[in-house]
Amino acid sequence: MAIFTGAGVAIITPFHEDGSVNYERFAEHIEAQIAGGTDAIIVCGTTGEASTLTHEEHLDVIRFCVEKTAGRIPVIAGTGSNCTETAVYLSQEAERAGADGVLLVTPYYNKATQKGLYLHFKTIADSIHIPVILYNIPGRTGVTMQPETIVKLCREVPNIVGVKDATGNISMTAKLMSLADGCVDLYSGDDNQVVPLLALGGKGVISVLSNIAPRQTHDMCAKFFEGDIEGSRKIQLDAIPLIEALFCEVNPIPVKKAMNLMGMEAGTLRMPLTEMEDANAARLEQAMKDFGLL
């Protein structure tokens, strides 16, 4: 059984002006996601600025999220690293904290071979007992996990159950699902390709958009699974201008700006991320108005 089906939010980490984690606002964001119908929370991923959290902060944020969610929906912790030993440590601690699963990004910078990727993920998965979702995002990591490697991991390592696919390559995803023959739980990692990946057998999305539009993102998936393909497709297509605005600068710069515009107090960003350019912020604000969020 999949860890979750539907819309999982790649939740932001709100910061105070001094850069410290704003746990009061984080609790509010968690509650808003649950109230909005979100099916899972993915904490300390790219959108959560995990790369600028210390290990202590990283684990504290995971623990806090698990505690506040209190079993109402699954919590999946981002615990990947380009260092296998570090990823093992973070994953074991996330399991100890009560996370329902972990999300493991392909090792960045090292540019491991397919054999190296297999051994990296197998080593981490073997060190824990909770499910693992792989995260294939070559645009950020510089390495592409091939469909054959993903399928091999899902078949041979019992607790590796699926992949967050942010390759943007529909042809590669189709090949993956053809090879998988049902053994890979597929989640879209791109908000502009949710419905296409559901049509290929996907279980849902791990979404940036859901931070500001949880109900719409949930409904996009729910309608598809209910057989209302036209309704699902309409939400997807109506959201495209907003999704494009949310990615006109590197994530999570725009989504934090969007949340601040909505009065959700996402706070500042940690360097090297900077505040959004004025022209892009104006484009984002207009897209949010057109989508009915402002």
Identify any residues that bridge with 136 across adjacent strands, giving them in sequence order. Answer: 165
Contact status, residue 41 vs residue 1, Cβ threshold 8 Å: no
What is the spatial distance between Cα 232 and Cα 229, in angstroms, rounded to a whole number?
Answer: 5
**Residue 134 parent element (H or E):** strand 132-136
For Cα atoms 249, 253, 257, give the angle at the middle one, nearest 5 degrees. 115
Residue tagged active-site, from 68, 118, 152, 164: 164
Q: Identify the three-state secondary structure at position 78.
A: strand
Contact status, residue 252 vs residue 208, Cβ threshold 8 Å: yes
User: Under 8 Å CB-to-CB from 88, ≥6 apart: which residues?
Assistant: 123, 124, 127
The amino acid at residue 226 is E
Contact status, residue 12 vs residue 259, Cβ threshold 8 Å: yes
Helix extents (H) in 104-169: 114-126, 138-141, 147-156
Provide the sign of the torsion angle of the four alpha carbons 226, 227, 228, 229, taken in this order: positive
**Residue 161 parent element (H or E):** strand 160-165
- Phi and psi at residue 263, in whole multiples of 5°? 80, 20
135 is catalytic: yes
- Whose CA is closest to 58, among 81, 37, 30? 81
Q: And the tokens for 222? A: 């729910």
Residue tagged active-site, from 68, 135, 256, 257: 135
Residues annotated as catalytic are: 135, 164
